[in-house]
Amino acid sequence: MSEVQTSVPPLLEVVNLRKTFARTRGLLRRVHGLVQAVDGISFQIFQGETLALVGESGCGKTTAGRCIIRAIEPTAGEVFFYQDGMKQDLAALDGPALRQARQHIRMVFQDPFASLNPRMTLLEIIGEPLLINRRVRPGAELQERVAALLKLVHLDPRYMNRYPHAFSGGQRQRIAIARALALDPSLVIADEPVSALDVSVQAQILNLLKELQQEKDLTYLFVAHNLAVVRYQSDRIAVMYLGKIIELTTRDQLFGRPLHPYTELLLLSSPNPDPRSKKKPPDLIGEIPDPARRPSGCAFHPRCRYAQPVCQNQEPPLINGAPEAAPAHWVACHLWDRLSLENGQL
C-alpha cells in the first residue's frame, strides 16, 4: 500500500515500520518473549491534513508515533520525510542531521502535568527549543518570541515568568502546544492530547489545534483512543490492532461504512451521549490477547463474530476496498466484501 493518493508527494511516508520489544526476566534479563509492538505498518501523511492513529491500549499507536520522531528506535522500516523538495529517511539519520530534521517534527504529549518541567518558567519551557537551535538570542528577542507564542495559544504573555503549577490542565496543554510550535514545525505528533483533560476543557484544546492547523498550515499525526474525538479532528483515520493497521481511510468512509469487524466493534462500543441512541455493543467474545502471543492468521479472529476458518490460518493482506473514483479504503479482512457491518449511526 504505497500509493494512497497519487501525484502529490506526501509530507511523511512510513514504510514497513517495525518495533520489537524484548520481554526479559530475572537478574540476567534473559529474553523470554518478543512483543511486536509495531508490526510492519505503512502509511502516508499529506501536507495540511490530520491523520489519526486509533486503537485500544497496547495496539502500538503511541510506539508508532515515537518511532517516527526516533524517541524510540525502530527495529526496521523507513520513515521518509519530504522537506523543501528533499527526501530523507528519518530512520537512517543520526547526529546533527537527525537533530536538524527533528526541528520540523514536534510532539505534544498526553499528560501536561508530567510533560512540563515544574522547575522551569514558561519562558524557559517554551524558549528552550529556540535557544538550543539558535533561532533567537536570549533576552529581549527571546521574550518577544515567547510572548508571540503564548498569544498564539491564547495565553496572556504576562504569565511568562510563572511556573507550570500555577496553571490548570487545559492551560498547561496550551503551554505544551506553544513549545511544540516554537520552531515552526511542519508536522506535529499529538499523542492523546486531550485525554487527560476535563470534558469542558477538551473542546477548547481540540478547537485550538484545528485553528492552529489552518493558521500555520500544520500537519498532524493524531494518536488517540477515543473515536468520537478522532471523528472531529481527522481527515483520515488508521485503525490499529496488535501492531498492525487493519483499516485506513477517510473519516467519512470509516464512520459511514466501516469495512473491518474490529472497527465495527469499536464504533458500537463507544458510548454516545444520547439516551435515545439505539446502538448496542455486540456480545464480546474472547479476551484481548497478550501482544507477545499474537493469534495466528488475522490477529482479531478470536474476538471476531464473523470469523471463518480461513481467518485462523491466513493473515489477510491490506487491500483497497473502495469503489473506483472514491478515496482509497484500505482494509485487512478476508471477508470485507461479504459483510455488511453496522456503523452505529442510529
What does the binding site for another protein look like in residue numbers (CB under 8 A)? 56-57, 168, 170-171, 198-204, 206-207, 225-229, 231-232, 255, 265-277, 279, 281, 284, 287-288, 343-346
Report in angstroms how near the CB of residue 258 gets to another protein at its nearest: 12
Report in angstroms how near the CB of residue 167 gets to another protein at its nearest: 9
Report in angstroms how near the CB of residue 272 gets to another protein at its nearest: 6
Report in angstroms how near the CB of residue 17 gets to another protein at its nearest: 23
The residue with cell 472514491 is 326
Report in angstroms how near the CB of residue 92 gets to another protein at its nearest: 35
Which CB sits closer to another protein, 91 or 298? 298
Which CB sits closer to another protein, 172 or 179? 172
Report in angstroms how near the CB of residue 228 gets to another protein at its nearest: 4
Which CB sits closer to another protein, 189 or 224? 224
Q: Which residues contact 120 (CB under 8 A, 6 or more apart)?
A: 128, 163, 164
Q: Burial-class residue 134 by CB neighbours within 10 Å (0-12, 13-18, 19+).
A: exposed
Which CB sits closer to another protein, 77 or 243? 243
Which CB sits closer to another protein, 47 or 272? 272
Q: Which of 35, 34, 43, 37 is nearest to 60 (CA)?
A: 37
Report in angstroms how near the CB of residue 99 gets to another protein at its nearest: 36
Which CB sits closer to another protein, 255 or 336? 255
Which CB sits closer to another protein, 127 or 170? 170
Which CB sits closer to another protein, 33 or 309? 33
Q: Which residues contact 84 (CB under 8 A, 6 or more apart)?
A: none
Cα separation of 129 and 127, whole Å?
Answer: 6
Write the CA distances from 100 to 44, 64, 84, 129, integer angstroms.
21, 21, 13, 12
DSSP 97: H
Q: Can you read off the three cell numbers belonging to residue 240?
A: 490499529
Q: Which of 86, 90, 119 is nearest to 17 (CA)?
A: 90
Which CB sits closer to another protein, 229 or 331? 229
Cα separation of 106 and 274, whole Å?
Answer: 37
Cα separation of 310 and 308, whole Å?
Answer: 5
Report in angstroms how near the CB of residue 233 gets to another protein at its nearest: 8
Cα separation of 84 and 6, whole Å?
Answer: 19
Give the full edge-to-edge strand order of the sheet including 12-25: 30-45, 12-25, 76-83, 86-89
Report in angstroms how near the CB of residue 37 gets to another protein at its nearest: 16
DSSP 334: T
Please measure the distance between the N-terminal and C-terminal CA atoms of the chain and give it in whole angstroms: 33
